[in-house]
Amino acid sequence: MKYHKIPDETIRRMPMYLRAFSMLKTEHQDTISSIHLAERLHLKPPQIRKDLSYFGAFGTRGIGYPVSSTAKQIRSILKLNITQKAALIGAGRLGAAIAEYPGFSMFGFDIAAIFDNEPSKIGTKVGKNVVEDISKISMIRDLDIHLAILAVPADAAQSVVDMLVGCHVKGILNLSPCYLVVPRSMKVVTIDLAMELGTLPYYM
């Protein structure tokens, strides 16, 4: 499988695999076949095999994939083997929920700074961090943070993004219902809960 371009869809599934392997590890299972993994994840076995094989031969024929070492491999493929620091912009209700969301640690993410523009929030503690004034956003560059999570109102999102560009941020998880203009070097993932919910009635 050398000299192959890796499909975007495969990358999108890698965190799923990582989460599954991490969970299997806590269940003290030390090996899993593509068949059983596929059942858990609601996927087909060949897809899992192909996805993983893009990055090398992790499995053992007749046995399956070794849980612990495969997890480690995926972590390093996704560059999650080192702690990835992230900045959270917006300390409202949603920001607070994100700051205390336990799921990030499984992937090695660390919310290393929180910013807001509301004077009453600055200085208060949210999760393990003290909320900083948005005017100090260049801290992000000084702290060598390259990821940002955007939990601000939609009409403020673009102006925050413009600031983040100057801070050398390379990836943004955007939770505002809006489209962001960014330089090509920046990767944005936007999630709008209402939009996701919007498809469901169609299928009922």
- Binding region for DNA (CB under 7 A): 1, 5, 7-10, 33-35, 43-47, 49-50, 52-53, 57-65
Query: Footprint of a copy of itself on residues 29-48 (CB under 8 A)?
Result: 40-42
CB-CB contact of 89 with 149 (8 Å): yes
Structure tokens at 28: 């003290």
CB-CB contact of 121 with 91 (8 Å): yes
In whole angstroms, the minimum distance from the beta carbon of 2 to a copy of itself comes to: 19
CB-CB contact of 164 with 188 (8 Å): no
In whole angstroms, the minimum distance from the beta carbon of 152 to a copy of itself comes to: 13
Specify the DSSP class assigned to residue 7: P
Size, binding site for a copy of itself by CB under 8 A: 54
Please choose which of a copy of itself, DNA, none residue 35 contacts, taking the beta carbon within 5 to 8 angstroms, the exact cut-off set by kind. Answer: DNA
CB-CB contact of 165 with 150 (8 Å): no
For residue 82, count other CB atoms closer than 10 A to its CB. 9
Please choose which of DNA, a copy of itself, none residue 109 contacts, taking the beta carbon within 5 to 8 angstroms, the exact cut-off set by kind. Answer: a copy of itself
CB-CB contact of 54 with 10 (8 Å): yes
For residue 167, count other CB atoms closer than 10 A to its CB. 18
Query: Footprint of a copy of itself on residues 161-190 (CB under 8 A)?
Result: 170-173, 177, 179, 187, 189
> Residues in the site for a copy of itself, rule: CB under 8 A?
11-12, 14-16, 18-19, 40-42, 77-80, 84, 86, 92-94, 96-98, 100-101, 103-104, 106-107, 109, 146-147, 149, 170-173, 177, 179, 187, 189, 191-204
